[in-house]
Amino acid sequence: MLLFHPNTSAYHPTIYGSYGYHLNSIHSVSAYEDFCVWVRDGSIAHSEALGRIRKTLYLDNPSEDWDGLANNHVYFWPWYDPCPSYPSHQRILIELEYWVESGGCDGVSCAWKYGDPMQASGHYDYPYYYVLFKTTHLSGSVALYHHVVNHETGHVLGLADGNGTCPDSVMHSRYYACSIDREWPSFYDRYSVETLVYNCPWVGCP
C-alpha cells in the first residue's frame, strides 16, 4: 500500500531545513483547519466518507489524534456538504479538501499543496491542501482508514513519507518496509508538527 506526498521536503521525526511544506493556517490559533469532503465518482456514500474522516480527525481517539496540537493551533472544522456544493466565495474559505475516488492517485492515496506559497521565518507555507483517497483505503477496516487519514493528514501538517527507516511514526508504514501501519500519530509525529507550528526548525523553540 503506497501512501505518498510527491512534493514534500520535510522529514520525520525531526523537521529541519529551509523548507517545510504545510498548511499555513496551522500558525494561527484563530484560524481553523476548515475541511470538506468530495466523493468524485460515487464509489462510497458521502456520509460514510465524511463520517470516517471526522472520526479519525477528532472523534475516535482525542488523546492521540492530530486535533488540538500546539494549544489548538491545529483544529479541524468540518463543512458538511460536498466540496463542490459551496459557491466559490465560500469554498475559497476551506483550506483542506479531502477527495475520494476509486483509482485514487494512480492506485494510491496522496496529498498535494495548492496556491501561492507564503514565505515566513525561512520557510514556505501554502494556503490550501488537497488529499485524494483511493476508495478502498477509506472504505476498508477501521484500522486501515485510521492509518490512511492520519498519514495523509500528516503531509498536510508538514511531514514526509517513510525513507527506509522505521521510527515510531504513522508516516513510516509497511509500504516503506516497516513492520506496522500505525493507526495514530506517535508522540514524535505530534512533536514534529508542533515544531512546525512554532517555526522551531527555522527560528528556534522558546
Length of the chain: 206
User: Tens digit of pLDDT for each residue in 188-202?
Assistant: 899 889 888 887 655
206 located within any domain: no
User: Tens digit of pLDDT for each residue in 98-126?
Assistant: 999 999 999 999 999 999 887 766 677 88
179 located within any domain: yes
7 located within any domain: no
pLDDT for the residue 10: 33
Cβ distance 132 to 99 under 8 Å? yes
pLDDT for the residue 192: 87
pLDDT for the residue 204: 54
Mind listing the pLDDT tens digit of every residue in the chain (206 residues)?
A: 333 333 333 345 334 444 567 898 998 899 999 999 999 999 999 999 999 999 999 999 999 999 999 999 999 999 999 999 999 999 999 999 999 999 999 999 999 999 988 776 667 788 999 999 999 999 999 999 999 999 999 999 989 887 778 888 999 888 888 889 999 999 989 988 988 888 765 555 54
How many structural domains is the chain composed of? 1
- 73 — phi, psi (to 5°)? -65, -35
DSSP 8-state secondary structure symbol assigned to residue 2: -
Count of CB atoms within 10 A of residue 192's CB?
Answer: 27
11 located within any domain: no
| Grid coordinates of 69 | 496540537
CA distance 168 to 13: 8
Residue with cell 475541511: 35
5 located within any domain: no
49 located within any domain: yes
Strand partners for 134: 101
Give the CATH number for residue 45: 3.40.390.10
Closest CA to 22 of 206, 176, 201: 201
pLDDT for the residue 22: 87
pLDDT for the residue 105: 95
Domain of residue 168 covers: 16-198
Left, alpha or beta for 68 (phi > 0: left; psi -120 to 50: alpha)? left
**Virtual CA dihedral for 65, 152, 21, 193, nearest 10 degrees?**
20
